[in-house]
Chain A
Amino acid sequence: MATLTPAAADEATSTDNSKKRLRPRQQRSGAWRWVVLLIAGVYFLLPLYAAFRFAGLSGFGDVFTTPGFGSSLWLSIRLAAVTWAISMVLMIPTTVYVHLRMPRMRRLLESVTILPIVIPPVVLIIGVLQVAPLALRASAWLLALEYVILALPFSYRALDAGLRAIDVKTLSEAAGSLGAGWLVTLWRVILPNMRTAVLSATILIVALVLGEFTMASLDLQQTFPAWIVLFDQENAQISVAASIFALFVTWIFLMLITVIATRQSRRTGGAEVTLFTVAPRQTIGN
């Protein structure tokens, strides 16, 4: 298969068509696309609309003034920050290392990181509360430590996609041949090229922490999602309003970052920023 590796490198630079996006051959065949998206859009937006109607504008106003809003939101933000920091420090060197030195382990790593999706947070929190030392159990930071695990599938996949887009091996060998140590290489060569991947991972971590309810409530910590459910029958409007608020803020935040990141990466000749995938560069036909 030796011929395939240089070919792959060629493809990136030559005007090869085999990696171009599919072009619609007949305009009419695009119709199904919009039907699907429309139906999906209705399914997702309808409950939001209904909830919006239910909450009413008053509900939204009350959200901000209700006690606990600020403190729980602040807690969630801090948790997100800590989770992000730990995730990055843990996952970036690991993924880079595996890409460079143990490429065959990538599959294993992927399987391990996919575990948190299928392991019930309920199950996890039971186990954690059992083995954690008392001091840790009382603090909210235990959640951050576990959120790193919950975020593994997303953070790993985003970083992995980013690394696949750049030829890490060649870049680091080039840096090494010029005299750079591994730390310098990581900091000055690899990381700057992973900016969009790191951004994607950040986005997903933020979304996860701001939406995670199960472990927080069973751990009796009042994060924002846990706070939302406190208003049961009498003040359901506030809950609903707060949920929608959280949802939209996260979404807009994400979109902003994605747009900025794409613009930035375009400037350096990079790819469109998408969360897990390596979108090919658009090339004009020959």
Chain B
Amino acid sequence: MADMTDTVTAPGSHAGPGVRRFPSPLRAAPAPVRRLARHLGTLPFIAYVAIFLIVPLISIVIGAFQNPQTNAFTWSNVNIAVHGSYLHGFEQSLILSLLSSVIPGVVGLLIAYAIFTATGRAAQFLRQSVITASGVFANFGGVPLAFLFIASFGSVALVTGWLGDIGLHIYNLGFSLYDLSGVTLVYMYFQIPLMVLIILPALEGLRPAWREAAENMGARTWQYWRYVGGPVLMPSFLSCLMLLFGSALAAYATAEALTSGTIPLTSIQIGSFLNGNVLAGQQNVGKALAFGMVVIIAVLMTCYVLLQRRAAKWLR
């Protein structure tokens, strides 16, 4: 017989109405225990993430400091990882990531804003097609993407030819698909859609009432953006840039396909350790490099969280 109980999270409890929703055996337990019990619901998730994300990461961190033969603690891996070509690799990766986050960041914001504020009959179709396209393109990378661009922007490719016909010889002007400028161009193909996807929720927080109130006060469009829209959106925008930066840093396949080693990039260098072409005694340097990336990412994530907290205060 079903009691009139609120049994949303307490299966099997037959308490009467008005009873709090704790599982019965813990009702008598002290507060900290109850709080812990509440967290139990997320246990499966925590366990999964721990096993499939945290453990691999930890093993890398440990491996970064281990001598490959003796497993003794050593600084040598890390030492090698921050010098010479590896240091150069970090530099190049950071520069590439900076370019591939700021430019797509701005472009992605423009696109997201364009579709978000569109009205009219086609608006919904526009929104849906752009958002789904973003979902697809954000995951598109690697060799196929490289091929696409080699076919269009390579030294003897289609678009290069077209531009040459109108007098713009881009390769003579310093552009090359196989160095930093080209890789940035290619990275934008998945960075821009990623930005569109992650900035849209922030745009939702921009209330039309603010725009109208500003206009009512006599503000023109640029004034609205300068005094209200921009400042309010800035924390979210910056946090999305952090994400883009991390995503660019993490990209491997595309760069590998395009450059096959002509530019030193950390992610590719890490990959080469997996492929086995490695000097003796340096097997764990790859892990040290990975550890370096993890450190950078940790810094990024901290900034991200802090910025999001600021954004949440204003946009919710």
Contacts and interface: CB of A to CB of B under 8 A. Distances in A.
23 contacts: A22-B211, A30-B118, A33-B117, A33-B118, A93-B44, A101-B38, A102-B42, A107-B309, A117-B247, A120-B252, A123-B60, A145-B52, A175-B8, A177-B17, A179-B5, A179-B7, A208-B139, A212-B139, A225-B144, A243-B145, A247-B136, A247-B144, A276-B200
A105 interface: yes
Contacts, number: 317
Given A122-B270, A127-B56, A97 B152 contact: no
A207 interface: yes
B250 A121 contact: yes
Given A118-B297, A179-B4, A19 B207 contact: yes
Nearest to B297: A118
Interface string B281-306: 00000110010011001001100110
A239 B204 contact: no
A251 B133 contact: yes
Interface string A219-260: 000000100110000001001101100110011001100110
In the A-B complex, the 5 residue pairs with the closest CB atoms: A127-B56, A118-B246, A243-B144, A50-B152, A120-B250
A62 interface: no
Contact of B42 (A22, A94, A121, A272): A94
A24 interface: yes
B55 interface: yes
Interface of A: 17-25, 29-30, 32-33, 36-37, 40, 43-44, 46-51, 53-54, 90-91, 93-94, 97-98, 100-102, 105, 107, 109-112, 114-131, 145-146, 148-149, 152, 154, 157, 161, 172-173, 175-183, 185, 203-204, 207-208, 210-214, 217-218, 225, 228-229, 236, 239-240, 242-243, 246-247, 250-251, 254-255, 258-259, 262, 272-279
Nearest to B117: A22
Contacts of A225: 142, 144
B118 A149 contact: no
A117 B139 CA distance: 11
Interface in B140-157: 140-145, 147-149, 151-153, 157
